[in-house]
Amino acid sequence: MEDLPEWKTRLEKIDVQLLSASWNVKDKFNVRVEIDTKQSDFTKKIYKDVSETLKNEEESKYVDYLLLDSNGDPLAIIEAKRTTKDPIIGQKQAEQYAMDIKKQTGKDVFIYLSNGYQNIFWNYPHESPRKVMGFHTQEDLERLRFQNSAKENLSELKIKEDITNRPYQIEAIKRVVDNIERGKRKSLLVMATGCGKTRTAMSLVDVLLRGKKAQRILFLADRKALRDQAFDAFKEHIPPESKSKIYAGELDKNSKIHVSTIQTFMECFQEFSIGSFDVIIADECHRSIYNKWKEVFTYFDAIQIGLTATPSDWIDRDTFRFFECNDGKPTALYTYDKAIEENYLCDYRVTGVQTHFQMEGVGKGDLPDAVKKKLLEEGMDEEELNWEGTDIEKKIAVLGTNEVIVKEFMENCLLDESGTLPAKTIIFAVSKKHAKRIWEAFEKLYPEYKGRLTRVITSEDSRADDLLKEFKKESFPRIAISVDMLDTGVDVPEVCNLVFAKPVFSKIKFWQMVGRGTRHDSVCKNRSWLPFGKKENFLIFDFWRNFEYFDLHPKGKEASATDAVTTRIMKVRVELVKYFDQNKDLPRMKENQKKILDSVNQLPKESISIKENIHHIEQVNQENFWNGVGLDYSNYLKKHIMPLMRYQQDVNPMIASFVLKCDELKLALAKGDEKQFERAKEKITEWLRCLPVTLQQVKDKKTLLDKVLTEGYWQEITYDNISTLEKEFAPLMPYKRKEPRPMIILDIDDVVQQRKLIEFAPDGKEEYVDVYKKQVEEKIYDLATSDPTVMKIKEGSPIYGEDVEKLEENLNSADLYINEKNLQKIYEQKGTLTEFLKHILNVKKLKTPEEKIDEEFRNFIARHNEVYSANQINFLRTLQTVFVRKKHIEFGDFFEAPFTNFGVNAPMPLFEEHELKELVGLCQKLEKEVFAET
Q: Write down the pLDDT at residue 766.
A: 41
CA 515 to chain centre: 13
**Distance of CA 432 to CAs 197, 435, 481, 596, 826, Å?**
30, 5, 9, 41, 41
Cα dihedral value 793, 796, 802, 805, nearest 10: 30
Q: For residue 760, what pLDDT is reported?
A: 25
pLDDT at 51 over 60: yes
pLDDT exceeds cutoff 70 at 756 = no
CA dist., res. 774 & res. 837, Å (int)? 14
**In this predicted structure, what is the pLDDT of residue 318?**
77
Helix (H, G, I), strand (E, B) or coil at 76: strand
Q: In whole angstroms, what is the distance from residue 776 CA to residue 171 CA?
A: 41
More confident residue, 210 or 885: 210
Most confident of 144-153, 319-328, 820-829, 863-872: 144-153
Q: Of 263, 251, 258, whose CA–CA distance to 281 is shortest?
A: 258
- Residues 73 and 142: beta-carbon distance below 8 Å: no
Do residues 511 and 438 lie in contact, with contact meaning Cβ atoms separated by under 8 Å? no
Distance, CA of 500 to chain centre: 21
Asked which of 135-139, 268-272, 275-279, 914-918 is least confident by mean pLDDT, the reply is 268-272
Provide, rounded to the nearest whole percent, the portion of the chain with pLDDT above 90. 61
> Closest Cα to residue 492, out of 508, 477, 502?
477
For residue 759, the model assigns a pLDDT of: 33
The secondary structure element, H or E, covering residue 219 is strand 217-221
Question: In the beta sheet, which residues pair with residue 71?
Answer: none
Residue 758's pLDDT is what? 29
Q: Find out whether 410 and 454 touch, Cβ atoms under 8 Å.
A: no
Q: Which residues contact 686 (CB under 8 A, 6 or more apart)?
A: none
pLDDT in tens, 572-586: 999 999 999 999 999
State the burial class of residue 245 (Cβ atoms within 10 Å of its Cβ: 0-12, 13-18, 19+).
middle
Residue 767: per-residue pLDDT: 47
User: Hey, is 133 helix, strand or coil?
Assistant: coil
φ and ψ at residue 493, rounded to 5 degrees: -55, -30
- Of the pLDDT bands very low, low, confident and very high (cuts 50, 70, 90), residue 594 is very high
Q: Taking a C-beta distance cutoff of 8 angstroms, is the pair 188, 308 a contact?
A: yes
The mean pLDDT of 151-178, rounded to a whole number, is 95
Helices (H) and strands (E) in the chain, counts: 38, 22
**High-pLDDT (> 70) share of the chain, %:** 94
Residue 904 binned pLDDT confidence (cut-offs 50, 70, 90): confident
Greatest mean pLDDT range, 704-708, 764-768, 829-833:
704-708
Alpha helices, DSSP H, located in 613-650: 614-620, 633-636
Q: What is the pLDDT of residue 6?
A: 95
Residue 590 pLDDT > 80: yes
What residues are paired with 36 via a beta bridge?
62
Cis omega before residue 692 (within 30°)?
Answer: no
What are φ and ψ of residue 390, in 5° steps?
-75, -10
What pLDDT, on the 0 to 100 scale, is given for residue 739? 53
In three-state secondary structure terms, 291 is coil
Q: What pTM value is reported for the model?
A: 0.76
CA angle 573, 577, 582 (to 5 degrees): 145
Distance of CA 159 to the CA centre of its chain: 26
The stretches of 690-819 forming alpha helices (DSSP H) are: 696-699, 702-708, 711-715, 719-729, 769-783, 788-795, 801-811
Residue 590 to residue 623: CA distance in whole angstroms:
12
Name residue 198's amino acid. T
C-alpha closest to that of 358 among 331, 380, 387: 387
H/E stretch holding 686 reads helix 674-689
In the Cβ-directed half-sphere of 151, how many Cα atoms lie within 13 Å?
Answer: 19
Gyration radius of the chain over CA positions: 35
Q: Quote the longest CA-to-CA distance of the chain.
A: 113
The pLDDT score that the predictor gives to residue 928 is 81
For residue 159, the number of C-alpha atoms closer than 13 Å in the C-beta half-sphere is 34
Q: How far apart are CA 188 and CA 175, in angstroms?
A: 10
Instruction: Check residue 552 and give its pLDDT.
Output: 55
pLDDT in tens, 515-531: 999 999 999 999 999 99
- What is the reported pLDDT for 506? 85
pLDDT band at 291 (very low <50, low <70, confident <90, very high): low
Q: What is the pLDDT of residues 437-476, one digit of tens each?
A: 999 999 999 999 999 999 999 988 889 989 999 999 999 9
pLDDT > 70? residue 755: no
Is pLDDT of 493 > 70?
yes
Mean pLDDT of 630-634: 85
Helix H segments across 447-564? 464-473, 507-514, 546-552
Closest CA to 333 of 200, 227, 234: 200
Q: What is the average pLDDT across 229-248?
A: 87
The model's pLDDT over 791-833, given as tens digits with 9 standing for 90+, comes to 999 998 888 878 888 888 888 876 778 888 778 777 767 778 8
At residue 743, what are phi and psi to the nearest 5 degrees?
A: -60, 130
Angstrom distance (rounded) from CA 736 to CA 60? 72
